[in-house]
C-alpha cells in the first residue's frame, strides 16, 4: 500500500479498485498526482482479485486540469507526463471507468477521455478551456473528443473553450451513463457489470471520426475562426489540431503535440497565462493575513449621482445590494436616477434584462438629499467633484452620521486619501475605491490603501470587489495612484510627440495598431479636454505661477472640449462619433511649434509606440520600487482592465519583459539625453538594476 503517494487514495470494493484523486482544491494534475495515478493503476493491474478500475475525484472536481502552479517549472515536464499517464490508462488490460462529478476540464477531461468508460453526474461540467490560455488541449483531447462526439461538436467545444454539462452528452460515447445517486457506488456497480460482460475495451483511439464533407466543413471553420480570433493564434491552431483527427490516431497525436508546443512559445499565450496568474496573485496583499475577518456589507451609500456615482450605484444594484443615493439638489438626483434607468432600459432593449428586473433594480435605490439616510449604511462611497474642499465637507458630514464600523470610501482619481482620512475621527475606516468610467462596465477597481486603513476594511473591500465582479488591485497613496499616475507620463509622451512633429491621428493610429482600444487623443476627446485644462489652471494658480499653455489648452480656449462640443483634437459630425482629422488643430499645433522655435521632424510609428509605452513602463517601475504596487503583474491588470491595453500584450510590464529590459533602458537613456528632455525619461533605478542583473519584472 505504501507505494502509492497520498495524492491518490486506493481502495478495493469486491472486484473493483477505486482510485480517488486527492489534490485539493480541484485535483490539478501536478507531478505528485500524475505519479499517484500510475502507481495506483499498476497496483490494480497486479492484483488478481481486481477486474475493473474506477478513477474518480471529489464532489467538487474530477480534475480542473493542469496544475497552474507548475506552469513553466521543470515539474511540468517531469515523468510521468500527462500524455504518458493517459497512455497507461488507455493501454490498461482491465477496464477503467472515469467517474465524474464537479469540474472535469482541460487535462482533467483528457484524462477521462483516456479511460475506457465514463460515467458522470448530470451536472458535472465537461470542457477543454485551453484556448483561453492561448493553447490547445495537448494531451490527446483534440484527437479523442472528435472520435467520441463528432468533428463539429468537438471543434465548437475546443475552439470556444466553453464547458457543457455531462447530461448534454448522454447517449454519446463521451458519457456512457449518468449517475444520479452516489457516484462511486454507481460507478463501482457499472465497472463490475462491464468486467462481467468481458467485452473488448472501447478505446477512443480505435474509433473513426464521423463527419460528412469534412474538408468543406473544415475550410468553413478555418475562415470563420481566423476572422473572429485576431490577433490570437490559438483558435485557428485548435481547428488544425482537430482536423488532424481525420488522420490515423498516432499521427494526429503527433500533430497535436507539435502545434501545442509551438503555441506554448507564442507571446500571446504567455500574455494570457500571465493574466490568469496575475488575477490570482492580485488577491494576495502583502501584510494582509489570509482569513482576516470581514465586515458585513448589506447596505451601501453613494454620494453624487453624476457620471461615476450612477455607474457605481449600478454595480451594487446588479448584485442585489440596496443603495442610498445622495445628491445636493433634487434636480441632480432626478437626472442621475433617469440616467441609471435609461441604462437599464437599454439593456432591456437588447434582451439582457426583463422589465421586472429593471424595476427590481431601480427599487433597490433610496434617493435622498439628507445625510441622515446614511445612518445604517455599511459602506459609503463618495463620487462628488474632484476638489479637496468639496471632499472635506462631504467626509465631515459623513463622519457625523455614519454608524461605527461603516467603511467610508472616496472615488477620487488623484487626491490624497490620507489627507481625506483626517477629515474624520476614524481614519482606519477610510480608503479609496477608484472605479473607472463607465463604472458599471469597466472591470477595474483600484483599492487605495491609506496609511491607517484597517486590515479588515481592506479585506472587506477585496471581497466586495469580487462580489460585484471587479478585478481589484490594491494601490498605495500617491498622485493618481497606479493607473492615472502612469497615464500622466503617457500623456506627456504623446504631447511631446505632437510638439516634435507628429499629428494626433498618426499617434492614435500607431498606438491602435499596437493594439490599444483607443489612442490618447481620441481618449481625450471622449473624456473631455476641459478636465485637464481646469486641473492645469488650478495647479498653476496654487503654485502662484503663470500658466504656459500647451496645445490642449489652446484647443480649450477655442471652446473645443472634445466630443461633447463637436470638436477637440478631432472634429465630429452631428450624431457621429467618428474622429475626423481637423485643419484647425493642425494650425494650432503649427503655431505652437513656431512660437517655441521647433522645426517639426518626421516621426515613425515605431518611435511613437516606444515613447508612449516605455513612458508607462518607466513610471510603472517607479511605482513598483516605491511599493505603491505590490507586484508588476498588478500594474498590468490595471492597464488591461482600466485603460484598454491590449490583452495579447499582457500589460505594459510584461510587454517590457518581452522586449527585454536592457532594450527598454537603452531607449529611455536615448530619450533622456535629448536636448531639453524631461527628467522623467531617466530610467527608474529598479529598471536599470533588473536589466543589469538580466532579470525581468515578471
Ligand atoms: N469621470 C471619470 O472618468 C472618473 C473616473 C474615475 C474617478 N472619477 C472621480 O469621481 C468623482 C466624480 O466624478 P464624475 O465624473 O462622476 O463627476 P460628475 O460631475 O459627473 O458628478 C459629480 C456629482 O456630484 C454631485 N455633487 C457635487 N458635490 C456634492 C456634494 N457636496 N454632495 C452631494 N453631491 C455632490 C454633483 O451634483 C454631480 O452630480 C471625482 O472625484 C472624479 O475624480 C471620475
Taking the C-alpha atoms of residue 28 and residue 31, their distance in angstroms, rounded to an integer, is 9
Give the distance (Å) from ligand 1 centre to CA of residue 585: 29
Planar angle of CA 626, 628, 632, nearest 5 degrees: 90
- For ligand 1, say whether the CB of 410 is within 6 Å of any of its atoms: no
Residues of 131-156 as b/e, b for ≥16 C-beta within 10 angstroms? bbbbbbbbbbbbbbbbbbbebbbbbe
The residue nearest atom 29 of ligand 1, judged by CA position, is 384
Taking the C-alpha atoms of residue 101 and residue 64, their distance in angstroms, rounded to an integer, is 11
For 249-296, give the secondary structure using H, E and C. HHHHHHHHHHHHHHHHCCHHHHHHHHHHHHHHHHCCCCCCCCCCCCCC
- For ligand 1, say whether the CB of 503 is within 6 Å of any of its atoms: no
* Percentage of residues in the chain having pLDDT higher than 70: 99
Contacts of 690 (CB under 8 A, 6+ apart): 661, 696, 697
State which H helix or E strand residue 17 sits in. Answer: strand 16-21
* 96 pLDDT higher than 60: yes
* 1 pLDDT higher than 90: no
How many helices and strands in the chain, by DSSP H and E?
27, 18
* Residue reference for cell 458599471: 440
Give the distance (Å) from ligand 1 centre to CA of residue 391: 10
* 3 pLDDT higher than 60: no
Q: State the closest ligand 1 atom to the C-alpha of 305, by its place in the atom list counted from 1.
A: 39
- For the stretch 549-579, pLDDT in tens is 999 999 999 999 999 999 999 999 999 999 9
* 5 pLDDT higher than 80: no
* 530 pLDDT higher than 60: yes
**Which of 468, 464, 400 is CA-nearest to residue 431?**
464
* Residue reference for cell 527608474: 684
Pocket test for ligand 1, best of 302, 303, 305, 306 (most atoms within 8 A of CB): 306
Give the distance (Å) from ligand 1 centre to CA of residue 71: 44
Which DSSP string do the residues of 62-123 spell out, in sequence order? EE-SS-GGGTTSGGGGSSSPHHHHHHHHHH-SS-EEEEE-BEEETHHHHHHHTSSEEEE-TT
pLDDT of residue 297: 98
- For the stretch 423-476, pLDDT in tens is 999 999 999 999 999 999 999 999 999 999 999 999 999 999 999 999 999 999
Question: For 365-379, what is the mean pLDDT?
Answer: 98
- For the stretch 499-527, pLDDT in tens is 999 999 999 999 999 999 999 999 999 99
Asked if residues 239 and 225 have their Cβ atoms less than 8 Å apart, the reply is yes
**Does residue 290 carry a catalytic annotation?**
no
pLDDT of residue 2: 45
Give the distance (Å) from ligand 1 centre to CA of residue 385: 4
- For ligand 1, say whether the CB of 442 is within 6 Å of any of its atoms: no
Taking the C-alpha atoms of residue 136 and residue 279, their distance in angstroms, rounded to an integer, is 21
Taking the C-alpha atoms of residue 638 and residue 645, their distance in angstroms, rounded to an integer, is 9
The residue nearest atom 2 of ligand 1, judged by CA position, is 437
State which H helix or E strand residue 337 sits in. Answer: helix 330-349
Mean pLDDT taken over the chain:
96
- For ligand 1, say whether the CB of 368 is within 6 Å of any of its atoms: no
pLDDT of residue 469: 97
**Does residue 130 carry a catalytic annotation?**
yes
* Residue reference for cell 490494480: 44
pLDDT of residue 4: 63
Query: In this structure, what C-alpha cell is assigned to residue 457?
Result: 476594511
- For ligand 1, say whether the CB of 433 is within 6 Å of any of its atoms: no
**Which of 89, 129, 146 is CA-nearest to residue 112?**
89
- For ligand 1, say whether the CB of 369 is within 6 Å of any of its atoms: no
Asked if residues 325 and 374 have their Cβ atoms less than 8 Å apart, the reply is no
Q: CA 423, 427, 429, 430: dihedral to nearest 10 degrees?
A: 60
- For ligand 1, say whether the CB of 394 is within 6 Å of any of its atoms: yes
- For the stretch 593-625, pLDDT in tens is 999 999 999 999 999 999 999 999 999 999 999
pLDDT of residue 76: 87
The residue nearest atom 32 of ligand 1, judged by CA position, is 328
Give the distance (Å) from ligand 1 centre to CA of residue 398: 16
- For ligand 1, say whether the CB of 411 is within 6 Å of any of its atoms: yes
* 232 pLDDT higher than 50: yes
Spot the catalytic one: 70, 79, 130, 591: 130
For 490-553, give the secondary structure using H, E and C. HHHHHHHHHHHCCCHHHHHHHHHHHCCCCCHHHHHHHHCHHHHHHHHHHHHHHHCCCCCCCHHH
Give the distance (Å) from ligand 1 centre to CA of residue 421: 18
Asked if residues 256 and 138 have their Cβ atoms less than 8 Å apart, the reply is yes
Spot the catalytic one: 70, 110, 290, 607: 110
Query: Backbone phi, then psi, for 280, in 5-degree steps?
Result: -75, -40
Sheet of strand 323-326, all strands in order from the earlier edge strand to the far edge: 365-368, 323-326, 300-303, 379-382, 407-410, 430-435, 444-448, 471-475
- For ligand 1, say whether the CB of 532 is within 6 Å of any of its atoms: no
Q: Give this prediction's pTM.
A: 0.93
* Percentage of residues in the chain having pLDDT higher than 90: 95
Asked if residues 16 and 41 have their Cβ atoms less than 8 Å apart, the reply is no
Asked if residues 41 and 92 have their Cβ atoms less than 8 Å apart, the reply is yes
The residue nearest atom 25 of ligand 1, judged by CA position, is 304
pLDDT of residue 71: 75
Amino acid at each position: 500500500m505504501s507505494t502509492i503517494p497520498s495524492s491518490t487514495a486506493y481502495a478495493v470494493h469486491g472486484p473493483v479498485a477505486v482510485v480517488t484523486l486527492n489534490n485539493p482544491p480541484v485535483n490539478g494534475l501536478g507531478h505528485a498526482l500524475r505519479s499517484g495515478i500510475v502507481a495506483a493503476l499498476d497496483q490494480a493491474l497486479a492484483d488478481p482479485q481486481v477486474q475493473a478500475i474506477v478513477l474518480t475525484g471529489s464532489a467538487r472536481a474530477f480534475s480542473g486540469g493542469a496544475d497552474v502552479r507548475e506552469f513553466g517549472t521543470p515539474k511540468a515536464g517531469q515523468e510521468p507526463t500527462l500524455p504518458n499517464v493517459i497512455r497507461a490508462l488507455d493501454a490498461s488490460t482491465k477496464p477503467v471507468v472515469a467517474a465524474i462529478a464537479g469540474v472535469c476540464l482541460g487535462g482533467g477531461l483528457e484524462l477521462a477521455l483516456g479511460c475506457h468508460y465514463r460515467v458522470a453526474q448530470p451536472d458535472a461540467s465537461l470542457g477543454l478551456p485551453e484556448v483561453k490560455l492561448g493553447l490547445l488541449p495537448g494531451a490527446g483531447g483534440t484527437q479523442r473528443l472528435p472520435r467520441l462526439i463528432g468533428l463539429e461538436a468537438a471543434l465548437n467545444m475546443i475552439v470556444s473553450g466553453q464547458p457543457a454539462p455531462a447530461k448534454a452528452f448522454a447517449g454519446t460515447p463521451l458519457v456512457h451513463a449518468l449517475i444520479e445517486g452516489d457516484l462511486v457506488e454507481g460507478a463501482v456497480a457499472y465497472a463490475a457489470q462491464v468486467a462481467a460482460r468481458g467485452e473488448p475495451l472501447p478505446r477512443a483511439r480505435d474509433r473513426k471520426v464521423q463527419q460528412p464533407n469534412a474538408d468543406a466543413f473544415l475550410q468553413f471553420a478555418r475562415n470563420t475562426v481566423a476572422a473572429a480570433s485576431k490577433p490570437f493564434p490559438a483558435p485557428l491552431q485548435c481547428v488544425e489540431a482537430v482536423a488532424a483527427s481525420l488522420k490515423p490516431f498516432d499521427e494526429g497525436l503527433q500533430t497535436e503535440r507539435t502545434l501545442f508546443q509551438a503555441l506554448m512559445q507564442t507571446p500571446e499565450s504567455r500574455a494570457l497565462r500571465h493574466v490568469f496568474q496575475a488575477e490570482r496573485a492580485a488577491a494576495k496583499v502583502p501584510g494582509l493575513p489570509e482569513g482576516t475577518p470581514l465586515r458585513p456589507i448589506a447596505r451601501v451609500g453613494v454620494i453624487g449621482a453624476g457620471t461615476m456615482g450612477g455607474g457605481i450605484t449600478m454595480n451594487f444594484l446588479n448584485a442585489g445590494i440596496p443603495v442610498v443615493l445622495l445628491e445636493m439638489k433634487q434636480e441632480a438626483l432626478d437626472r442621475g436616477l433617469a440616467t441609471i434607468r435609461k441604462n437599464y432600459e437599454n439593456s432591456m432593449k437588447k434582451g439582457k434584462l426583463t422589465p421586472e428586473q429593471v424595476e427590481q433594480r431601480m427599487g433597490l435605490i433610496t434617493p435622498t438629499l439628507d445625510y441622515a439616510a446614511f445612518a445604517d449604511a455599511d459602506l459609503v462611497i463618495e463620487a462628488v467633484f474632484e476638489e479637496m474642499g468639496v471632499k472635506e465637507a462631504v467626509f465631515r458630514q459623513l463622519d457625523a452620521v455614519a454608524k461605527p464600523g461603516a467603511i467610508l470610501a472616496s472615488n477620487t482619481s488623484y487626491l490624497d486619501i490620507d489627507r481625506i482620512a483626517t477629515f474624520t475621527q476614524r481614519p482606519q475606516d477610510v480608503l479609496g475605491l477608484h472605479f473607472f468610467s463607465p463604472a458599471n462596465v469597466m472591470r477595474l477597481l483600484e483599492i487605495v490603501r491609506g496609511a491607517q486603513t484597517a486590515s479588515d476594511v481592506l479585506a472587506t473591500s477585496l471581497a466586495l470587489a469580487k462580489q460585484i465582479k471587479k478585478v481589484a488591485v490594491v494601490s498605495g497613496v500617491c498622485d493618481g495612484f497606479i493607473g492615472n499616475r502612469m497615464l500622466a507620463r503617457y500623456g506627456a509622451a504623446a504631447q511631446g510627440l505632437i510638439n516634435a512633429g507628429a499629428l494626433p491621428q498618426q499617434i492614435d493610429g500607431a498606438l491602435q495598431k499596437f493594439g490599444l482600444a483607443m489612442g490618447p487623443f481620441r481618449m481625450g476627446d471622449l473624456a473631455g479636454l476641459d478636465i485637464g485644462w481646469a486641473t492645469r489652471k488650478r495647479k498653476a494658480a496654487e503654485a502662484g505661477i503663470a500658466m504656459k499653455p500647451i496645445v490642449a489648452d489652446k484647443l480649450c480656449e477655442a471652446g473645443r472640449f472634445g466630443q461633447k462640443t463637436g470638436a477637440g483634437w478631432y472634429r465630429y459630425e452631428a450624431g457621429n462619433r467618428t474622429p475626423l482629422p481637423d485643419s484647425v488643430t493642425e494650425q494650432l499645433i503649427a503655431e505652437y511649434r513656431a512660437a517655441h522655435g521647433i522645426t517639426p521632424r518626421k516621426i515613425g510609428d515605431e518611435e511613437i509606440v516606444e515613447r508612449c509605452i516605455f513612458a508607462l513602463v518607466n513610471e510603472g517601475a517607479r511605482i513598483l520600487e516605491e511599493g505603491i504596487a505590490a507586484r508588476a503583474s498588478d500594474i498590468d491588470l490595471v492597464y488591461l482592465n482600466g485603460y484598454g491595453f491590449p490583452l495579447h500584450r499582457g500589460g505594459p510590464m510584461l510587454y517590457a519583459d518581452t522586449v527585454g529590459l536592457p532594450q527598454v533602458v537603452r531607449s529611455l537613456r536615448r530619450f533622456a539625453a535629448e536636448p531639453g528632455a524631461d527628467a522623467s525619461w531617466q530610467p527608474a533605478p529598479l529598471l536599470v538594476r533588473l536589466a543589469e542583473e538580466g532579470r525581468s519584472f515578471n
